[in-house]
Structure 1
């Protein structure tokens, strides 16, 4: 029997088992089609150019293409000054779902900006300067949630750019030398590093740029006004003059019809109210889901303090004050433009939704009559005097940071405390990690940015409150909320102290027992914050829940790392995305330092912020060098 020569076996293996470390065939074909349209039908056929269906962008050489060395997927396309004269085909381009950088500066690309560009979900850098692109900026740009740098300068774009302000985390925006119009939206100028909209057709007042950008960023827009420009904005237009006699006669007939309609509508409302009052006197059974219970906060002056009464499946929340006789006298409104004239009676009358209960109290969503939505945190049995509580709240109110959610008011009878906050509509880090709300991909870059933001914010707060000894005390992913711009904000800062934590965090450490610890000396609240932040980092890296049934995330990570299976720790979504294993390991090392069993071995939060910033800067450098 003839034997197959050994030297032929590798060839057979390659033929039988196709090479997997290459970009998928349908992606290659789409990218070739993208280049055909981009070059205007004049695509080069030089083998050194690549960009053909018979070659691979990662295993062969394609001009301007850079691939990830591990996942072998296209990460960057940089084609600056290639004299490209065609159009931008975003449908074909975005088939390369791992693409993070697209740079087409200083070519002759024309046509409209396709709305399909919003499908390039992982784009972090988009450079289109010096082309002939025209038309409106599509609304789909706001779907590029990972975009950090955008340069559309020196084109012929027109229309408004309002949707771009919804991109959270944008670091630079260059749009000078276009024909853009409308008002300049309120970008996140606190985080923006580079901004220029000069030589356009913008009008109206310039938003507050936090003193970061000079007049050079706004020149060439004759109808712009306000700082930093020298021309101030005109006062708002006066009210229109009263109508003449002839106009009032003409409108009187219309007015009669309108008022008649109002009277009929009022009669209908009165009838409905009467029916509702009658129905209330009729006995009936109600079944309300405790997760969706809607409660009325009402005043009952016969009690002594706030209490939560459960009647069947219905929760009735009542707050009273026997000390003053008037409940509103105990509500302290802090410096907030949101609720300048808030009274306790307003809270009592407002409908409230029970959002959840925890070890330390309950959380309610309250809708005021003027449409303002607030969150009320109710804490029971907190071992701190009213005077100390007031001093703590007023001290926290004096320290302002844009990434810390401040209380807008508080109430402190004898047995419980109420904290009032502005409601944040975009949920928490916990829900984003484990609930995938808003339908957006939570990639490595976003997680690293959130870790950096939390660390920097916590470092600021620890420094400000070091002398006061006020740490967060209950830091966790459910207390990291996202504001309207999807920026992470730390909520409930300073509400808890170690004595009131019930050792919830300390119980996760195997090597220390509760009866051996001296909480006042060894475990300061600042060290507990460090441990809690380390757990948040582990959540970001692993995507795993922190269970209440004894699952110890820190111990599990330690055990996996100890067995040298470090890659098994990371969230599979990050692995499939092709996130840098080196930088994930670096962040994991920071997390493990934070959750060290010995508090004295944990770094302070300023050191942590520096370490995470270094990882983020390395990530930015690896994505793209600034052109």
Structure 2
């Protein structure tokens, strides 16, 4: 065979060399991506530790997507990641989507993410990132979806957001952003929310067409679409309404002040008459509470506010805070706050306390709890150190012999129960499949986290009214680990709709009983029926038995909420979630799955929904 001509030989060698060089370059790039992911894994842990690091190709790792042997997506939602986000992810230069939502990441966003010029989706919501929103984000010209909500970002909202001309979704709610909102020019924007920050001034004209919910919770914000007019520019009717409100406030304030003075006078007289200082002090304050209750027309909130205040003074107690959090309020601030009853639960009454500095907290006033201070403190320490993005954190507590208060973050969207069963009329916004399945995932993760603390730890009171929601409808589980304080004689009937059949003592609820209650919660999400609505049929069958009987008759579609049946493309997912709920609510505890198994199954189902494009991710 004749050798190739010299020119042809040269061309062949050149092509071969180029191909080998390209292969080597591709392998080097993938190796660089792998090293970046391993550094990420080492820094923040969580479920990323399950990656098989013996695999040289990271494209097979959970949450990692590759195209042409380069990492293009990293999705790790709710993986239990913890710590500052390390440098290194900026080496994933082909990354298009990064989702680290619902973890426990904190600190500032590392500046090497400025290298991700192809990034079009960044989801960091539900962490504890802090500091100002970094300027380099405004150089990511491919960005379409940006969610930084429910973190601790501070500083002002930069007009630099207008540089992100492709942006279709911007979520900044639930942070500590201050200053005014700039006039943003984002023509493609389809989702926008800056609620529950510390913003002030007027809503810019280009943003005034968004609904009120996009700006709620910013007490010093004014202008359309808000009802608060700016600098007297409102209509005459709005001025009149404001004036009337001010007058009403002055009248009520004077009346309350007068009654308090009368109560103090009455107390001093009674003290002189009886000579029993401690007993008369408490009794008098109880009577002054009753007087104020009548004046304010709010029996529950006023009673809590005034009687607790006086007993707190007697015992010289203070709020006990957890961790190294900055104590921006104390017991006196809490007791001066205007109180609004949120609801009466198994363990006591919950109030919204609007503090003078513009912060709202949820305060639970425990009842029928008779324990020693040491026992109470030990339990509160255990609860206070449980941190998970899907748990409502316990911030502080107060103990005295007669009063026990728990202070939590206030959740503005209320409970799942209210959302599911509140207004079913024509003006109702239906709770869609994406939201319901997301709530199921969040609640399952939180309860699994609780169970991971040991075989004797359980939630003890799982029900839809204890699933609270953030402004983006993320589930946050409340009232956890309080069953220890329950009075067996007084609580069984209150949670009967969710109680496992083997439970006879409600302060000794096992993890398998939690699984049963969670299964009932899933059935409630799927059917739209409250489990405490005992008469499902003429025979009075409870929710789990009713669903089991319908499924046995092969009428499965009959169990689903009519509001869900409009989503026909998710029927398979609905049936699968129904099957998980039925497995949770079997009669015998040993035949129920663990919460870890339940959470894993729901996450797989949720991930499948996301791949079908059923949820914005």
TM-score (norm 2): 0.50
Residues 304 and 463 from structure 1, CA distance in 2 versus in 1: closer, same or farther, beyond 3 angstroms?
farther
1:535 is the counterpart of 2:524: no
CA contact (8 A) 2:390 2:446 kept: yes
1:12-411 map, 5 Å: 178=141, 186-187=148-149, 277=254, 302-303=281-282, 314-315=298-299, 316-317=303-304, 318-320=306-308, 326-335=314-323, 337=325, 340-411=327-398
Counterpart in 1 of 2:401?
414
Q: Distance in 2 between matches of 1:309 and 1:555?
A: 46
Counterpart in 1 of 2:444?
455
> Of 578, 583, 595, which residue of structure 1 is paired with 2:573?
583
1:471 is the counterpart of 2:458: yes
Q: Distance in 2 between matches of 1:612 and 1:370?
A: 41
Q: Distance in 1 between matches of 2:564 and 2:465?
A: 21
Q: Distance in 2 between matches of 1:429 and 1:314?
A: 25
Q: Distance in 2 between matches of 1:278 and 1:618?
A: 60
CA contact (8 A) 2:528 2:561 kept: yes
> Of 561, 564, 579, which residue of structure 2 is paired with 1:571?
561
Counterpart in 1 of 2:11?
none
Aligned length: 370
Counterpart in 2 of 1:34?
none
Residues 359 and 510 from structure 1, CA distance in 2 versus in 1: closer, same or farther, beyond 3 angstroms?
closer
Q: Distance in 1 between matches of 2:378 and 2:430?
A: 42
Give 1:504 shift. Answer: 4.1
1:487 is the counterpart of 2:474: yes
1:489-504 map, 5 Å: 489-497=476-484, 499-500=486-487, 502-504=491-493
Q: Distance in 2 between matches of 1:625 and 1:376?
A: 34
Task: Provide, for residues 25-78 of structure 1, a one-character-per-residue CA deviation record: whole Å limited to 9, x for no partner.
Answer: xxxxxxxxxxxxxxxxxxxxxxxxxxxxxxxxxxxxxxxxxxxxxxxxxxxxxx
Task: Provide, for residues 93-149 of structure 1, a one-character-per-residue CA deviation record: whole Å limited to 9, x for no partner.
Answer: xxxxxxxxxxxxxxxxxxxxxxxxxxxxxxxxxxxxxxxxxxxxxxxxxxxxxxxxx
> Of 401, 422, 425, which residue of structure 1 is paired with 2:412?
425
CA contact (8 A) 2:361 2:409 kept: yes
Q: What RMSD in Å do the two structures reach over aligned CA positions?
A: 4.9
CA contact (8 A) 2:338 2:353 kept: yes
CA contact (8 A) 1:424 1:481 kept: yes
Q: Distance in 1 between matches of 2:510 and 2:485?
A: 6
Q: Which consecutive unaligned segments of at least 5 residues does structure 1 have?
A: 1-151, 169-173, 191-197, 209-268, 283-298
Q: Distance in 1 between matches of 2:378 and 2:285?
A: 21
Of 501-510 and 531-540, deviating more is 501-510
**What secondary structure does 1:400 align onto?**
coil
Give 1:604 shift. Answer: 1.0
Give 1:275 shift. Answer: 10
Residues 499 and 596 from structure 1, CA distance in 2 versus in 1: closer, same or farther, beyond 3 angstroms?
farther
CA contact (8 A) 1:473 1:498 kept: no
**What secondary structure does 1:575 align onto?**
coil
Larger Rg: 1
CA contact (8 A) 1:475 1:532 kept: yes
CA contact (8 A) 1:379 1:416 kept: yes
CA contact (8 A) 1:301 1:322 kept: no
1:444 is the counterpart of 2:407: no
Give the structure with the higher percent helix: 2
1:559 is the counterpart of 2:544: no
Q: Distance in 2 between matches of 1:623 and 1:440?
A: 21
Q: Distance in 2 between matches of 1:336 and 1:436?
A: 41
Q: Distance in 1 between matches of 2:414 and 2:565?
A: 26
CA contact (8 A) 2:412 2:470 kept: yes
Q: Which consecutive unaligned segments of at least 5 residues does structure 2 have?
A: 1-115, 128-136, 153-159, 165-170, 173-245, 260-277, 537-541
Give 1:624 shift. Answer: 8.5
Task: Provide, for residues 340-397 of structure 1, a one-character-per-residue CA deviation record: whole Å limited to 9, x for no partner.
Answer: 1432222222221122223432111111111111111011112543212211111222
Give 1:455 shift. Answer: 1.0
TM-score (norm 1): 0.50
Residues 581 and 498 from structure 1, CA distance in 2 versus in 1: closer, same or farther, beyond 3 angstroms?
farther
Give 1:529 shift. Answer: 1.7
Q: Distance in 2 between matches of 1:369 and 1:302?
A: 27
Residues 153 and 357 from structure 1, CA distance in 2 versus in 1: closer, same or farther, beyond 3 angstroms?
same
